[in-house]
Amino acid sequence: MTRKLPIIAVATAPGKAGVGVVRISGQNLKPIIKALFQRDLIPRQATLRSLLNANGQLIDQLVAIYFVAPASFTGEDVLELQCHGGPQLLELVMRRCLELGKEDGLEIAEPGEFTLRAFLNNKVDLAQAEAIADLIDAQSEAAVRGAARSLQGAFSDDINDLVEEITQLRILVESTLDFPEEEIEFLENAQARERLAAVKTKLQTLRDGAKQGKILRDGIQLVLAGAPNVGKSSLLNRLAGEEVAIVTPIAGTTRDRVKESIQIDGVPMHIIDTAGLRQTSDEVEAKGIERTWEAIRLADLVIFLTAPNAEKESDDLRAQILEALPPKCPVLELVNKADLLDKEPSQIKMGCLLISAKTGQGVDALKQKILETVGWNGPQEGAIVARRRHLDCLERASEHIARSEQFAANGNNSLELFAEELFLAQNYLGQITGKLLPDDLLGKIFSQFCIGK
């Protein structure tokens, strides 16, 4: 993935648009620029140019901007061609550039290769590179702002500060290791325990922020489960505010998952309406049910719906679902069809939220309860976006800090282990910004980018 030759791609989205941008990055683009326009370009100056085909016919009049290495997005020479945004036209521009750049080894870029080069040339760290993709993919205003902040380095700065503190502490410990007779006093003199406690607090704050950041970025996978006919599709429609699922009084109508993305308080919610979970001999329905179990196994939150007169079949199902859930996945139990209940409210189990998908009763309270259950703290000043990968690294780092704390408590003779745990914690934090990465990870991260990024 780390080619040195120049690369080219259309940087704008496919389809027709007013403007389409073709981007080229390479170590020395002067020869290509000369070949394209028969003359040099003044760096960082938008210049109107004509691009001609091999027969001297006009392909497009475009605005060319040339950034000289290292002051560019990728850290290499970059040429941006702002053309008219037609797919055929951009195809022709690309082809012409590839023709004229052939001698210089110009090739079509792989997905994420521009950003990869920016990372390899230290223009951005890995968390920032990921934030570029997250900014482009952001699904809400809050997510846009969080990604912009991550891209500016807000998250990386906190990580780097923490790594620095851990490093300082570790250096101190390691320098003491050569003088065993002084180990006993070391912890006191260096205020190691206090410093470790400070590290731990900071790490916890970072984890809390990253957890919110992951919700902002990915949203919540919310599964609506329950016996047939309890009103799952109706609730999905109510939450989505439109008819997205088929509602009928015949049990087993929802044959397949219906997925709808909505926002509650700026948090993307991917709601999956599940096929009624029941024994069936119908092949199509059975497939839907199998997929439902799949969705349940990947859920962040399960809403388990029951309705009056469906308690019996619901009890078996509840037990089955609890078994299939990922560890720590919360379950919200709801009783639907509250509007039918005015006569016998005593039948309702304590602690269940009572709603009516039909009248909308209790739905606002449900939305608040959902946010509360997934641990969303509301839009925060200074929020960042984060990924599962970041959370995993932070969790690992926390484990090692906790272990180092134990060794510190043991005092004497544990200093070597204390230092080792600090080192491991530091490594996991370093993976977030990409300073210390397992080999295969880089390719995996950048291959998820689109072409042209």
User: Residues at the annotated binding site for K(+)?
Assistant: 229, 248, 250, 253
Binding at 231: pick from ligand GDP, Zn ion, none (beta carbon under 5-8 Å per type): ligand GDP
- Does 339 sit near ligand GDP (CB under 6 A)? yes
Whether the CB-CB separation of 235 and 336 falls below 8 Å is answered with yes
* Residue 64 in tokens: 């060319």
**Quick check: 233 binds Zn ion (CB under 5 A)?**
yes
Residue with Cβ nearer ligand GDP (120 or 363): 363
Contact (Cβ atoms closer than 8 angstroms) between residue 422 and residue 169: yes
Q: By CB under 6 A, is residue 12 in contact with ligand GDP?
A: no
Number of residues that bind Zn ion (CB under 5 A): 3
The least distance separating ligand GDP from the CB of residue 230, rounded to whole angstroms, comes to 5
The residue (of 360 and 378) whose beta carbon lies closer to ligand GDP is: 360
Q: Binding ligand GDP by CB under 6 A: which of 15, 249, 327, 438?
A: 249
Residues 346-385 binding ligand GDP (CB under 6 A) are 356-358
Q: Is residue 229 helix, strand or coil?
A: coil
426 lines the binding site for Zn ion (CB under 5 A)? no
- Residue 264's DSSP bridge partners are 267
Considering only 75, 276, 288, 434, the residue that binds ligand GDP (CB under 6 A) is 276
Shortest-Cβ-distance residue relative to ligand GDP: 231
Q: Judged by CB under 6 A, does residue 242 bind ligand GDP?
A: no
If one asks whether residue 213 binds ligand GDP (CB under 6 A), the answer comes out as no
CA angle (201, 191, 422) in 5-degree steps = 55
Which of these, 368, 373, 277, 288, lies nearest to 331 by C-alpha position? 373
Residue 314 binds to ligand GDP (criterion: CB under 6 A): no
Under rule CB under 6 A, residue 160 binds ligand GDP:
no
Tell me how far apart the alpha carbons of residues 54 and 405 are, in angstroms, rounded to a whole number.
70
388-425 burial, b for 16+ CB within 10 Å, e for fewer? Answer: ebbbebbebbbebbebbbebbeebeebbeebbbbbbbb
Residues contacting residue 407 through CB under 8 Å, at least 6 positions apart: 414, 415, 417, 418, 421
Omega into 70 within 30° of 0, i.e. cis? yes
Binding partner at 234 among Zn ion, ligand GDP, none, C-beta below 5 to 8 Å by kind: ligand GDP
Binding stretches for ligand GDP (CB under 6 A):
226, 228-234, 247-249, 253-254, 276, 336-337, 339-340, 356-358
